[in-house]
């Protein structure tokens, strides 16, 4: 399937936005006012302290809009667990966030709110509603961009019999342009701190390679990533390979 998809690709030039940021740069920037729809698959061939594998397919949509003269980005993430450590499958919990963004000479920063929605199947969902602040910044350089993105989820309701979800995630962002639509950078790795356990429960390190191209005139960014999670308590993923197809809808 991947081979058939790549066979129909044709490269082309990619315009810049009004702020001078290239489409390739916007595609790697979570604060950019760029509509996108991405389909991801994360396969973990091995897990910590347990035999087996895990696979998660994920859909993510980002929709920019203006409210009161301020640029905003709304993003919905819907994961589907095709197999977890317990051999279960089903829809996972959705996350929804909105971020107001502000352009600066050095790049862009944003502040907003993130929500956890207990939409998951039995045995997969946390069965909790969560809410908290989100923030981040991106700095632009001639070689690419760097920044950091933070989300915080605190339980506000749900099944009292289930553990609360009180976590903070920190995602470093690094992307270096290689030209001709190619770039390399950090994977979608997120460091997760659990406030109830008082420890980090995810310590990943990873990289990705990206290629921006076109399908029938529509820009699509392809990404291949690998990361290792060094948090080895429990039965979480150890190695994860990711494949992403990100459809971009420029203004």
49-75 tens-digit pLDDT: 998 899 999 999 999 999 999 999 999
Q: What is the pLDDT of residues 134-158, one digit of tens each?
A: 999 999 998 999 999 999 999 999 9
Residue 203: φ, ψ to 5°: -130, 75
Q: Which domain holds residue 172?
A: 2-249
Q: How far is CA 230 from the centre of its chain?
A: 19
| Dist. CA 110–CA 190, nearest whole Å | 18
Q: What total number of domains does the chain contain? A: 1
pTM for the full predicted model: 0.87
Write the CATH number for 84: 2.40.160.40
CB 187 within 8 A of CB 204: yes
């Amino acid at each position: 399937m991947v081979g058939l998809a790549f066979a129909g690709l044709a490269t082309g030039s990619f315009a810049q936005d009004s702020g001078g940021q290239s489409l390739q740069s916007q595609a790697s920037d979570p604060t950019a006012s760029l509509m996108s729809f991405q389909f991801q698959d994360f396969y973990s061939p091995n897990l910590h302290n347990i035999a087996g594998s895990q696979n998660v397919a994920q859909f993510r949509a980002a929709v920019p809009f203006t409210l009161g003269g301020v640029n905003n980005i709304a993003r919905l993430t819907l994961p589907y667990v095709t197999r977890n450590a317990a051999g279960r499958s089903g829809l996972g919990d959705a996350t929804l966030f909105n971020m107001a963004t502000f352009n600066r000479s050095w790049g862009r920063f944003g502040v907003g709110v993130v929500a956890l929605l207990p939409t998951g199947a039995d045995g997969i969902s946390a069965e909790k509603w969560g809410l908290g602040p989100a923030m981040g910044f991106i700095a632009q350089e001639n070689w690419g961009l760097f920044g950091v993105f933070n989300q915080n989820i605190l339980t506000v309701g749900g099944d009292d019999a289930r553990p609360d979800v009180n976590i903070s995630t920190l995602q470093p962002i690094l992307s270096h342009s290689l030209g001709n639509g190619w770039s390399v950078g950090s994977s979608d790795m997120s460091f997760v701190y659990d406030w109830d356990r008082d420890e980090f429960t995810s310590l990943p390190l990873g990289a990705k390679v990206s290629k921006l191209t076109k399908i029938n005139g529509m820009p699509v960014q392809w990404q291949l990533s690998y990361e290792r999670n060094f948090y080895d308590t429990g039965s979480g993923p150890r190695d994860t390979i990711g494949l992403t197809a990100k459809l971009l809808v420029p203004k």
